[in-house]
Amino acid sequence: MNRGEVHVEQSSAAQESFRAVEWRDGALQLLDQRLLPQREEYLTLKTAPDVAQAIHDMAVRGAPAIGIAAAYGVVLAARAAWQRAGNGWREAIEADLAHLAAARPTAVNLRWAIKRMRGRFNAIQGEPEAALLAEARAIHDEDRAANFKMARLGAGWLPPDAAVLTHCNAGALATGGYGTALGVIRAAHARGALKAVYVNETRPWLQGARLTAWELLRDGIPVTLLADAAAAHLMATRGIDCVIVGADRIAANGDTANKIGTYMLALSARAHGVKFMVVAPGSTFDLSLDSGRDIPVEARDAAEVLRHGGRPVAAAGATAWNPVFDVTPAGLIDVIVTEKGLIERPDAARVAAVIGG
């Protein structure tokens, strides 16, 4: 493996051709990911409950982007609390913070961002919006900067002329910009080091087909889409070098929760001698959890499996189990790429050495 960092120019406006999360004119604007790739429409959100609903309904998704949206949601909550209660805004804001925190249970960045925003409360004198907006923007900017660092490290870890497979969407749509897993793919493509990029459809929401393929093609990166069930056959017949995925929560020992189907990919990758890379910022680590057994896994409405495009696809009377995430044991992961450094062959000691603990 080539372990040299790849240079990525952070300041270039051409690194991604859109912004999925943006504060503009006193409101949060979100690219509504439920409508892609057919329509590009933005939601303008002016209240914290609206932000919580957008997070729950997956108008915005991806652990880092959820955290950033929640940080801006705290700003909106503080504005409303100040208008209602003046100097009593700290007490008045609590219901909105609880609503935001409950919007998605697995993505740790959501609660991390709210906790960080809360940490600013005691130092604020008077009207809180300006100080909290500065903190939310800092969270946003830091995430994007971390993505560039991870892109350099991850692309440098890949072999030359690599064929890679990714699952779900861990790009600029899912982060503050540039992406985690897709940031690595973008950086490797920029230096001409990719032979092929394969993308799983990612059932049942089709984030790979609808979002990742849209995002990469928009930036001129060729994509080959495949059904999730074809991944093992792809590894056996087409010489994949590395699976690259993001993460929604990582335990202290390196066990990683990500979109459902990631665990199955890790097992297939190990069976076929394919490297397995997780790309995630430090905010995705939950060091309070010893292992993946402690990670809460969100289950969503069975209708997401039983129906597609508003139409039933299952026999009448069938039921469905719809876990949104699964947990990949650290022993199946070759490297976790963070902005703080690489964690190769992750375990509790190696995670603590890089992330802290």
Rounded (5°) CA angle 201-163-40: 40
Q: Are residues 40 and 66 in contact, defined by beta-carbon separation less than 8 angstroms?
A: no
Of 84, 83, 137, 139, the residue nearest 115 (C-alpha): 139
Beta strands in 81-187 (DSSP E): 162-166
Q: Estimate to the nearest angstrom the gap between the alpha carbon of 225 and the chain centroid.
A: 20
In sequence order, the 6+-apart residues with CB closer than 8 A to the CB of 118 are 74, 97
| Rounded Cα distance, 83 and 85, in Å | 6
**Alpha helices of 219-279 — where are they, by DSSP H?**
231-238, 262-271
Report the catalytic residues: 248
| Rounded Cα distance, 226 and 246, in Å | 18
Q: List C-alpha distances in Å: 130 to 50, 70, 113, 115.
A: 20, 16, 17, 18
| Two tokens, residue 135 | 């903190």
